[in-house]
Structure 1
Amino acid sequence: MSHIKDAELSSMELLAPAGSYESFKAAVENGADAVYLGGKSFNARASAANFGLDELRQVVQYAHERETKVYVTVNILIADQEFPELYDYIYSLYEIGVDALILQDIGVGSMIRSVLPEMERHASTQMTINTTWGVRHVERLGFQRVVLAREVSVEQMKTISAKTALEIEVFVHGALCICYSGQCLMSSYIGGRSGNRGRCAQPCRLTYQLMNEERKDLLAEANLGNHLLSPRDLNFVEEIHTLKECGVYSLKVEGRMKRPEYVATVTRIYRRALDHVLSQENGVNAGSAVTGEEKTELLQIFNRDFSRAYFHSHPGAELMSYARPNNRGIRLGRIVQNRGNQLEIKLEAYLRPGDGIEVWTSRGREGITVQKVWQGKRESEEGKPGDIVQIEFAGKSHPGDRVFKTHDEQLMEKARQSFQEGKERRKRPLKMRLSGSIGELMALEAWDQDKHVRVDSATPAQQAMKRPLTQEYAFQQLNRLGTTPFWLEELDLEVEEGLMLPVSELNEMRRLVVEGLLHKSFQQEKVTRGEYKQRLKEWQNRLKLEQEEQVQQAQQHKEPLPGSHSKAASLAARRLTVAVSDLEGVKAALKAGARRIALGGERWRSRKGMSWEDIRAGVRLCKEQGANCLLRLPRILNEEQSAWWYEALLKVKAWEDRPWIMVANLGELEMVKDIDPDWPFEVDYPVNIFNEAAVAHLFRLGAQGVTLSTELEHSQIEPLARWPKTEVFAFGELEMMVSEYCPVGATLGGKKGTKCTAPCVKEPHYLRDRLNYDFPIETDLDCRMHLYNVKRLNLYKELGSIAKMGVQRIRLQLDRANPVQIRDTVRVFLEGWERALAGERISEEQAEKVNGYLAERFPEGFTKGHYFRGVL
């Protein structure tokens, strides 16, 4: 395996973002070891400027000349119809010389491993990898690096790093998602803009009210602010030494949507802090890791307040920026008085013309750009901390109102200077030797670290008539390296006395050695396009063969075909999965005729849930009634919780009638296979199964079934339905978000430092948005928040088209439903699914009747989700 981490981690990588060419230059010129960016297609920041292939070619050349790596994000879910374009795109990136791809889609990762293993792959944080088990899976897939979920703690990082040869990358600065990355469907469900497709509309940054069952605003008097899902920004600039001790290799700065000045400032400060840590550990005293001025600059360039998230502990409300979702800047001071159109401020920070400020009043915030600064009657170039200054301001304010500086023009100009075109500063030293005698060709040699190049002059050296070649003159000419990434550190001149060479010859020799050194940097063995196409053809044939084999296996274990209604009913019952979370739910589903039960899943604080005795009883009940039983694992498990479940599953393994397992993430899959490689398992929809390559990868590992992504549109489901044992989510609550942050406990659970009083147990809670929709909140036993869509998915009317596609199974997600709701929903869907499998059409009248019946039990209403409205 290439590029695996060094056991000693003698160096670390600073990885900076780029959403435009200016941002890219800002990152490189301020000391990034690597830059990550997106092309025009297939990346998770679709609204950034991004880079076309010609721009990428230019970017890679510029970066490699300065010994900087370029990673390209292909970090979205990719549909089957997009694969032909993807094939060409991946090879183009390889041909250009991109250093690695950052991937989310397990199908894409599997495909690249087969057709272009020479291309380095990094597992995106969108893959929701947060345990040693999850890392093991991407290692199995041939990845060289994993970007851990932002929720991973110090101790968990140490454990994960110690058990893998992969490089570990973590986010260290910038915006923080409130939901586990890759699991957030809020923007997708309510606005059709999917985060898994790079189009997140950031609904978490909007305003919400926390409501109870009576729809009372529980925080109306709290004066917290109403951005209840908006977290602060990460800032780990003082944690670099700890990250190194954790085994982290790459420090990743978030910000592909940020301005180049932001990229320049943050990269510069982290570069110096990282160099300090590495120097200290090599016995060099490099001064302070980060100065007070640099801390202020990080605040000034952009902040929503700063946080270390879950690195050391669970932060609760300290994670959040309730008051505002955008840049706070730094506190400038307070208003002394407001006279007409003039504002008088006592400063706590510097203020200069061109700076942007915000005045916070009881009526809201008003921002202006400062044109002039006065001190008394004298116009001033700057006001200093402690000064009382006057500025023009036409708005209303009162003495004591706070003022914040949101834009520091001097800091922005400092940042711009660092990446100004034609004034590149990222250069490395060259050593040269110029040698020769009169009448012979001259030789110029150059050394760049381990690279060596020699060129000869086109004409022999001559006897000087007036000005022989001197050390000073030769150094002056050979050091004219312009915009190249070099500067001349040392020149050995070994020439016969009295020799001369035309300046044009000297310049040409300099050009050729530089060209030779840079060419050596780019040399690599290439897979030809023809060879790549042949590999692709072989992979596509294997995929087709695997699908045919799956069909043959399914036919050998064939269920009875629908001929009569009684046979169809039996088939329908075995092709309908009912997900429930307690023993009463199991009983209700079985009584209604269900013969495929997925029990367990999350254990809710608001209800009884299932003890291990209940689970065992549920398994027995299923067996007694001839039903298939699956044990659903939770959507998220951290390192410690995985260890607990591992021990629990070892006990389940010993049961005489042990259930099949349904895994909800890649780590759980590895854990189950480690306990028993032959334990039948299925894969749940949070794994984001979006294409045939992903389906094939999971079946290859032994999966007995997969539930497809809920973001697929009906035409995208059809090719996946050709694979047997695929399941489609047909009815139930759509979970939009899972988060370590609980808004109920953080705001109502008591004072900081005290044990949460568990208000989530006392009554239901909802987040109300600006349109007065109430999104249900559920809290699990691990205190994670699960946020649900207002309306339930209901595809009853579409059962006919689902069956016609060849879909093997449908899912009723009823884990938060009561027994009556479960019983009645199972009954009507069994009848409808029976009709659909028998080839009967469900009439409009029948569909309306059933939907009306269901609406009495679920008055919040229904949605068809993405069935007709995809996310591409």
Structure 2
Amino acid sequence: MAKKLLNNIMSGTDRNSHLFLFYRMNMRNRDFELLAPAGNINIFKAVIEAGADAVYVGGSMFGARAYANNFDEEELLYAIDYAHLKGVKVYLTVNTLLKNDEIEKLYDYLLPFYERGLDAVLVQDLGALKLIHDRFPDLSIHTSTQMTVTGIDGVRFLKQFGVQRVVMAREVSLAEMKEIHEKCGMEIEAFVHGALCYSYSGQCLFSSMLGGRSGNRGRCAQPCRLPYCAGNKKDTYILSLKDMCGIKDLQKLKESGVYSLKIEGRMKQAGYASGVVAYYRRYIDSMKEVSDKDYKNIAGLGNRCGFTDKYYFEHNGTDMVTFEKPNFVSDASDELPQFSKIKIQGKLTLKEAEPGALTVSCGGYRFTSYMDPVSHALKAPAERKNVAERISKTGDTPFEFENIDITMDNDIFVPNGALNKLRREAIEGLQNEILMQYKRTASASYSWKSKKTSEIKPSGDPKVIASVRDGKQLYRLLEYDNISEIYIDSSKYGRRDFVKEFNDDVFCVNNAEKKAYLALPVIFRRSTRDYFETISDQLKKIDFEGFIVRNYEEFFWVKTRFAGKKIVTDHNMYTYNDMAKSMFFDNGADADTMPLELNQKEINRRNNKGSQMIIYGYYPLMVSAQCVHKNSYKCDRTPQITYLKDRYNKIFPVWNNCSECYNIIYNSCPTVLFNNMQKIKNAGIDSLRLDFTFEKPEEIDTVMAAFESNSADGIKEYTNGHFKRGVE
């Protein structure tokens, strides 16, 4: 099927002529970029032949598909040249979080690809973004969907650092994308086809906490594709979403200001990848209504329990979930299309006693190679037919002669080796002429070393912080003198009386001689931002210390609205490396929270001045726009706890934030690090944080007693999190 599609995609254009390249460059629908995945060089070539405008690939390091057949350095350099000869761009994924010892290697890793002409990099890590922007200023930076960008303030924050394109979170609607494009002028990339994560990308620790395979490091084990018991539904695939297909929404995507249409599938086979690309190429160029037959054929290339496009229009829904076992069903063969070469023109001149010359040309490019003066034939003279055959042999080069104009004298002798060399040098010269426009030279070498924590002396005992979600927790914790700051989650308040109730709580915290902070929602999409905008002037009048921010939208919003208020970034504002941390501090952060996936050794290698660490709490495993309660029962807009049970009978609490419409799935037991207090203090950490979520007042007393005794005594079941094991 895929091969037939590729042969027909040009709708009559002769693929065996130079018109193919002309079509690629000049006759396509320029409103969109069709961005295709490739897991190896054969798929890379296949999706280009199928009509991709750009291809994204993973290299040997730092890619979010660590188990894919990623490109080694030689393959990637070849791929960059191959794509540029075809008029196609290449984007490299550098979309994992980098540890301190890794970010030091990033410059040398990128350097050969940068100099070869790599078109863009996709990044998740803020430190990687800074390094690339500083050292490769003319290399385009695209932020990965792993950055969880959902609104205009997040885009405005990233735009300051040279970001040219934002890949939106898959959950963002077309209406939200339109607002972002119109207000920020940013180039927007949106997912249009392929697998959907249940969690907001970048907000998932499920695989990490259960098995040590982190999605933030490209090693997700996909626990969302397993069965769970939820409410009255047993062994149901309630966390598994259908595949996305937006081919029927091309006109709406265009109207929303989306430029790049991203197909997911770097771990898919060639037949799937090239077939999907071919269909999208056809409908992007024609902008016709998609036929039922073609839609069915696209589904036949591969899907999980059908397709959905609902995130473009709705916040969540049961019809987006597979519920059934989500096997990937595909009838696509792995047959590769024929890779039609680039047509070139040749002009050969062989005159006695003059240097032989071969000029080759393609589009506006040309190159002439020369050989030694042609001699008179003493015996058998060169025949035109044999000369033409010798010059026409382009071998495994990407070129093929469409015609060769030969001017030659009679009775001349030309050695075959000389003709081979003449042809080889001409083709190599033409290729270099074409590729020269892409190549760069780096301005200088780069070395960056983090300041080790051994150089930073701890400033006495760290202060103790508690975060709370309800009033009973708050008032019990006010009784503990060793707690100096309290973070009050915004979900504690209903929207009707938010300001009054928060003001009352701040008054109580201040009276207890503690400092109060407002912890903003994990996700800050348009409706949430609009609400907080309406109460921002009232919030400024309240005597609280500052904010806990959990996304780029909130960071920028607080920084620009609340001068004088402190900003603390939460654990999901990842500061794996010191460069990422410095980006936040240099732009307004007063403190950061240690990422939850670092182990003891990695924490010790980190600059922990101004950092806090969560030493107790139920770790969040997923943040999702979907709602387990709604999909198990119905939506009653009542914040509550629903429970998921896995195949090992582990129970995972799921809390629904109805005001902001997202779910958080928590670990089955809390992380408790009280047994490691001296090691934590030796790392130079400024603050220790106790995160309370579901605990009742008497359970808080048990936790506080254990904390004060530097042990886990009295806590029945707990985990050490990643403190000892970490992630790869």
1:776 equivalent in alignment to 2:653: yes
Cα distance, 1:149–1:510 mapped onto 2, change above 3 Å: same
Contact 1:546 1:696 in 2 (8 A): no
Q: Which moved more, 1:614-623 or 1:496-505?
A: 496-505
1:679 equivalent in alignment to 2:565: yes
Partner in structure 2 of residue 219 of structure 1? 233
1:578 equivalent in alignment to 2:579: no
Partner in structure 1 of residue 204 of structure 2? 184
Cα distance, 1:255–1:603 mapped onto 2, change above 3 Å: farther
Cα distance, 1:246–1:474 mapped onto 2, change above 3 Å: farther
CA distance in 1, matches of 2:605, 2:380: 82
Q: What's the % identity of the aligned pairs?
A: 32
Q: TM-score, normalised by structure 2?
A: 0.87
CA RMSD in angstroms comes to 3.4
Partner in structure 1 of residue 160 of structure 2? 140
Superposed displacement of residue 23, structure 1: 2.3
CA distance in 2, matches of 1:321, 1:460: 73
> For residues 442-461 of structure 1, what are the structure 2 equivalents within 5 Å?
444-456=358-370, 458-459=372-373
CA distance in 1, matches of 2:29, 2:258: 8
1:519 equivalent in alignment to 2:432: yes
1:863 equivalent in alignment to 2:726: no
Contact 1:424 1:483 in 2 (8 A): no
CA distance in 2, matches of 1:134, 1:448: 44
1:296 equivalent in alignment to 2:296: yes
Partner in structure 2 of residue 110 of structure 1? 130
Pick the aligned partner of 2:92 from 72, 76, 79. 72
SS in 2 for 1:870: coil
C-alpha offsets along residues 658-717 of structure 1, whole Å, 9 cap, x if unaligned? 431111011211111221454321101111221111111111112110001111111111
Partner in structure 1 of residue 109 of structure 2? 89
- The one-letter code matched in structure 2 to 1:770 is R
Cα distance, 1:487–1:165 mapped onto 2, change above 3 Å: farther
SS in 2 for 1:249: strand
Q: Which moved more, 1:91-100 or 1:706-715?
A: 91-100
Q: TM-score, normalised by structure 1?
A: 0.73
Cα distance, 1:500–1:784 mapped onto 2, change above 3 Å: farther
SS in 1 for 2:244: strand
> For residues 643-658 of structure 1, what are the structure 2 equivalents within 5 Å?
643-653=530-540, 655=541, 657-658=543-544
SS in 2 for 1:321: strand
CA distance in 2, matches of 1:34, 1:827: 58
C-alpha offsets along residues 561-597 of structure 1, whole Å, 9 cap, x if unaligned? 56xxxxxxxxx6xx11111123443322112222201
Q: Which moved more, 1:185-194 or 1:59-68?
A: 59-68
CA distance in 1, matches of 2:177, 2:535: 23
Partner in structure 2 of residue 326 of structure 1? 327
Cα distance, 1:291–1:442 mapped onto 2, change above 3 Å: farther
Partner in structure 1 of residue 611 of structure 2? 726
Cα distance, 1:289–1:430 mapped onto 2, change above 3 Å: farther
SS in 1 for 2:247: coil
CA distance in 2, matches of 1:99, 1:261: 26
> For residues 554-703 of structure 1, what are the structure 2 equivalents within 5 Å?
561=460, 575-593=463-481, 594-603=483-492, 611-653=498-540, 655=541, 657-703=543-589
Pick the aligned partner of 2:281 from 271, 285, 303. 271
Number of matched pairs: 696
- The one-letter code matched in structure 2 to 1:448 is C
C-alpha offsets along residues 321-350 of structure 1, whole Å, 9 cap, x if unaligned? 111211245xxxxxxxxxxxxxxxxxxxxx
Cα distance, 1:635–1:764 mapped onto 2, change above 3 Å: closer
C-alpha offsets along residues 5-57 of structure 1, whole Å, 9 cap, x if unaligned? xxx99343222212233322322332222222222322211211222223323
- The one-letter code matched in structure 1 to 2:36 is A
1:745 equivalent in alignment to 2:630: yes
CA distance in 2, matches of 1:771, 1:869: 21
C-alpha offsets along residues 774-818 of structure 1, whole Å, 9 cap, x if unaligned? 111111023311111110111111122211222111111113333
SS in 1 for 2:722: coil
CA distance in 2, matches of 1:694, 1:718: 16
Unaligned runs of 5+ in 1: 1-7, 212-217, 278-287, 330-406, 563-571, 750-755, 833-841, 856-860
Partner in structure 2 of residue 233 of structure 1? 243
1:757 equivalent in alignment to 2:639: no
- The one-letter code matched in structure 1 to 2:649 is N
Partner in structure 1 of residue 675 of structure 2? 797
SS in 2 for 1:453: strand
Contact 2:271 2:336 in 1 (8 A): no
1:207 equivalent in alignment to 2:233: no
Q: Which moved more, 1:688-697 or 1:201-210?
A: 688-697
- The one-letter code matched in structure 1 to 2:373 is T
Superposed displacement of residue 642, structure 1: 1.9
Q: Which moved more, 1:445-454 or 1:68-77?
A: 445-454
CA distance in 2, matches of 1:486, 1:241: 36
Cα distance, 1:757–1:484 mapped onto 2, change above 3 Å: same
Structure of higher RCO (CA pairs closer than 8 Å, 6+ residues apart) = 2
Contact 1:210 1:767 in 2 (8 A): yes
Contact 2:469 2:492 in 1 (8 A): yes
Partner in structure 2 of residue 377 of structure 1? none
1:259 equivalent in alignment to 2:269: yes
- The one-letter code matched in structure 2 to 1:728 is M
> For residues 275-674 of structure 1, what are the structure 2 equivalents within 5 Å?
275-277=285-287, 288=288, 290-304=290-304, 305-329=306-330, 407=331, 411-412=332-333, 416-418=335-337, 423-425=338-340, 427-432=341-346, 440-441=354-355, 444-456=358-370, 458-459=372-373, 481-488=394-401, 504=416, 509-523=422-436, 526-527=440-441, 532-533=444-445, 535-536=446-447, 539-540=448-449, 544=451, 561=460, 575-593=463-481, 594-603=483-492, 611-653=498-540, 655=541, 657-674=543-560
- The one-letter code matched in structure 2 to 1:632 is A
C-alpha offsets along residues 118-152 of structure 1, whole Å, 9 cap, x if unaligned? 43322111111111211222222222222111001
C-alpha offsets along residues 439-468 of structure 1, whole Å, 9 cap, x if unaligned? 6556544443343323445435989x9999
CA distance in 2, matches of 1:614, 1:198: 42
Cα distance, 1:734–1:745 mapped onto 2, change above 3 Å: same
1:244 equivalent in alignment to 2:246: no
SS in 1 for 2:327: coil
| Structure whose CA Rg is larger | 1
- The one-letter code matched in structure 2 to 1:663 is V
SS in 2 for 1:313: coil
Contact 1:226 1:322 in 2 (8 A): yes
CA distance in 1, matches of 2:140, 2:453: 26
Q: Which moved more, 1:142-151 or 1:58-67?
A: 58-67
Pick the aligned partner of 2:77 from 41, 57, 78. 57
CA distance in 2, matches of 1:435, 1:162: 57
- The one-letter code matched in structure 1 to 2:367 is V
Superposed displacement of residue 603, structure 1: 5.0
CA distance in 1, matches of 2:112, 2:408: 51
CA distance in 2, matches of 1:39, 1:806: 36
SS in 1 for 2:109: helix
Superposed displacement of residue 235, structure 1: 0.8
Partner in structure 1 of residue 38 of structure 2? 18
- The one-letter code matched in structure 2 to 1:424 is F
Contact 2:55 2:89 in 1 (8 A): yes
Q: Which moved more, 1:309-318 or 1:87-96?
A: 87-96
Superposed displacement of residue 155, structure 1: 0.8
Contact 2:238 2:631 in 1 (8 A): no
CA distance in 2, matches of 1:293, 1:811: 57
- The one-letter code matched in structure 1 to 2:363 is Q
